[in-house]
Amino acid sequence: MPQPLRLRWLFSLLFLLPLLAMAADPLPSWYNGASRQAIEQFVSAVTEEGGKDYVAPAERIAVFDNDGTLWSEQPLYFEVLFALDEVKRLAPKHPEWKTQQPFKAVLEGDQKALAASGMDGMLKIVAATHSGMSTEAFIAQTRRWLATAVHPKTGKPYTEMVFQPMLEVLQYLRANGFRTYIVSGGEVAFMRAFAEEVYGIPPEQVIGTTLDARFQDKDGQLSIQRLPKLTHNDDGPGKPVSIDSIIGRRPILAFGNSDGDLQMLQWTMAGPGKRFAGLVHHTDSKREWAYDHDSKVGRLDKALIVANKQGWTVVDMAREWQRVYPFDTIDSQ
């Protein structure tokens, strides 16, 4: 074989080897345990033409929570960390924040006062940092933050704090004719800033908490302006409502990690035919975090009880994932 052809053949082989490995093992970051087997058995059953559990491609809808399910959520939800940084960035334009809570607490680093402001305080922060601009401008600012901000524990960009095993599940499902959606309590435009690049999920398949908005024509410049008013809280019972109104089909697979996902999982499992409900259980204090019943972030209490009673799939992160993040090495047991 001539040298140029030999080199071209070798380069082609090097390119194809990872693809062939993925085809042979679509979930390489999972141990061959109960959760992986449940996922594979479900996908096999609903995609086998002529099988009793076959589901037509149009009905193969899979929904995923984001925080704690597709990426980490400790020590605070990443969007909250974004909002806190935005308060500091915008503070020169808002001198009144020096004396107004909860902004005063953020600027002074007063964690106790910030915690005391509770959910009402956090909603005020989100409203102030997520509105007063066009959707395009907000997404651009979110991307600027994601390009430079790093996680306080790992020093990694937040978009690298995604769960490699769940990325593989998303790809595996899409390879088998599923449409994958994010259904999260996070604000929808914030997630749309990175979801397609990081998860392969296009913006029209990202569902989240929404702010009010209005169309604006300012001297021929058209935009959608974001207003400081919450119109839908996409958490808990809000998730089935948004699934029904936006997707219009009941999912046959749902993955979450907290009590905020319980109703989405219940709604998915209440439909006819074969269905799958999964929970990511954070049990790995070494590679990630270990928390459930007592956590203030991503609390998993009622949903875990229901999952165990109903026989849903509960993924033990420490025992069932060979690696957590894309930058991790494979952990052999």
Q: pLDDT tens digit string along 231-269?
A: 999 999 999 999 999 999 999 999 999 999 999 999 999
pLDDT tens per residue, range 6-65: 545 554 554 444 444 446 899 999 999 999 999 999 999 999 999 999 999 999 999 999
Q: What are the residues facing 232 on neighbouring strands?
A: 210
Q: Are 178 and 61 in contact (CB under 8 A)?
A: yes
Rounded CA gap, 109 and 122, in Å?
Answer: 15
Share of the chain above pLDDT 90, in %: 88
Rounded CA gap, 260 and 45, in Å?
Answer: 29
Query: For the chain, which residues make up each domain, given as ranges?
Result: 27-76+162-320
pLDDT tens per residue, range 161-214: 999 999 999 999 999 999 999 999 999 999 999 999 999 999 999 999 999 999
pTM for the model stands at: 0.91
Mean pLDDT in residue range 275-283: 98
If 0-12 CB within 10 Å is exposed, 13-18 middle and 19+ buried, where does residue 7 land?
exposed
Q: Tell me, which fold does domain 27-76+162-320 have in CATH?
A: Rossmann fold (3.40.50)
